Each structure stands twice: as C-alpha cells, then as structure tokens.
Amino acid sequence: MRLLFVLSLLLLPVFQSVAADWELVKEDKRRAIQVFLRDVPGSELREFRGEMTLRARIPSLVALVEDTSQAPNWLHQCKALELIEAYSPQRKLLYMVSDAPWPVTDRDSIFLSELSQDEQGNVVINMTARPDGFPANDDYIRIPRMNGRWTFAVQEGDMVKVTYQVHAEPGGGLPSWLINSVVVDNPYYTLRNMARMVNEEPYRDIQLSHVHDAVH
C-alpha cells in the first residue's frame, strides 16, 4: 500500500509536465484556498487543481469523502452519489449525478475510487471513470472520461494540505467556454464546504479501520 502511495507522488511531476504549466486563477487567502487550471493536450476542457491547508484529522477527511449520503451537501454540483460496489474498504465503484447549468442536460458518471495510505498517514484517493460499469440512464448524459485524485498530505502542527484535482470530458458536445466557466467554482466551493464540515460530528472524532491518524 505504501509503495502505491509513493509511486503516485513520484509520478505526479511526470504527469504535470505533459501539459502546460498550472495557472493560478482564484485565491481565497482568508480560507487558504487556491485554484489552478491548465490546458490538457487534445482536450478543450481545462484540468483543475484546488489546494487548501487546514487543521483536520486524516480519518475525518477520508470519512467525509466516503460518506455518499452527505456528498450533495458539500461536493459542488453533486446531486447524488451512490455506492455501486465495495470491492474492499479501499477500492469502490461509485455512481454520481452532477448538476449542469441550464439548459444543459445533467451528467452522470461511474468511477472507480482507490485509496492508499503510507506509514506517516498521507492519503491518495485516485478516481478513474468506468462509463460502462453501470447501465445508462436516459435522464442523463454519461461522462465518458474522467481522471482525478484527492491527496491529503500531513503537515506540521496537525495541519493537512488537501489537493483536489480532476480532468473530465463531459460528453454531449458542450461548448468549451461553458464548461471551463464551471471548473473554477467546482474545486473552490468543494474545498470551502469540506473545511466547514470535516471538523463537525460525526467526522471530527471518527475512527476508521482502513485509515489511521497522521504520525508526526
């Protein structure tokens, strides 16, 4: 498990070098949130990366991300998140419905979530689209491609650096200007909502069998 986490971090600069440099497009200094965008070769949709540093426990952050019932209350534009199958506590197949701006049809997505943690407590949750993993719903347009990750990196003083990074192809021939107008709000409000909820019950003092606290 630790090897997978280390490889994820080592390969991250390689993946980043493939595309253009990140551009800082939004900064909220009071909440310590930054949003970056970059172009992706062959795609009209830009990739986003949101960063935030806050005081929180690693299990609390993971528990919030894994609580599908609460996802619409903090994941920006998420209308529903449901567990399709849990292959293990670390590996799950999920179904999400995303609210699209009017008059665009809402999107749904199937994605595989894979969690790894090292001995110090750092966590990476990789998310990869599996569009054929569940029957199509005629009410939505299925997102054909998506890759993303959550990273919870242990810092000094019980602080954690949270990184939320995603690139997706929404399908359905949407104009790129419309979609790219949304990619700034998505990470910003998601991180802002996460900071509001993660230190509240039931997440604040939660214990998880598959995730341990940070080791300083």
Structural domain spans, the chain: 2-153+177-197
- Residues found in the chain: 216
pTM of the predicted protein model? 0.89
Architecture of the CATH domain 2-153+177-197: 2-Layer Sandwich (3.30)
Q: Can you give the pLDDT at residue 45?
A: 86
- Mean of the per-residue pLDDT values of the chain: 90
Q: pLDDT tens digits, residue range 47-62? A: 999 999 999 999 999 9
Residue 4 has pLDDT above 70, yes or no: no
Q: What is the pLDDT of residues 68-102, one digit of tens each?
A: 999 999 999 999 999 999 999 999 999 999 998 77
Statement: residue 104 has pLDDT above 90 = no
φ and ψ of 113, to 5 deg: -110, 125
Structure tokens belonging to residue 191: 């991180």
Ranked by mean pLDDT, the top range of 7-11, 12-16, 88-92 is: 88-92
Q: What does the block give as tokens for 194? A: 């996460």
Report how far Cα 41 is from the mean position of its chain's Cα atoms. Answer: 21
What are the two backbone dihedrals, phi and then psi, of residue 82, each rounded to the nearest 5 degrees? -130, 145
Catalogue the E-assigned strands of 44-102. Answer: 47-55, 78-88, 91-98
Compute the distance between CA of residue 124 and CA of residue 93 in angstroms, rounded to an integer. 16
pLDDT at 212 over 90: yes
- CA angle centred on 174, ends 171 and 147, rounded to 5°: 40
What is the mean predicted confidence (pLDDT) over 22-33? 97
pLDDT at residue number 102:
76
Residue 24 tokens read as 């800082």
Q: Say if residue 149's pLDDT is above 80.
A: yes
> What CA dihedral angle connects 201, 204, 206 and 207, to 10 degrees?
180
Both tokens assigned to 171: 């399908």
Whole-angstrom CA distances from 216 to 118, 162, 165, 208 are 13, 17, 26, 19
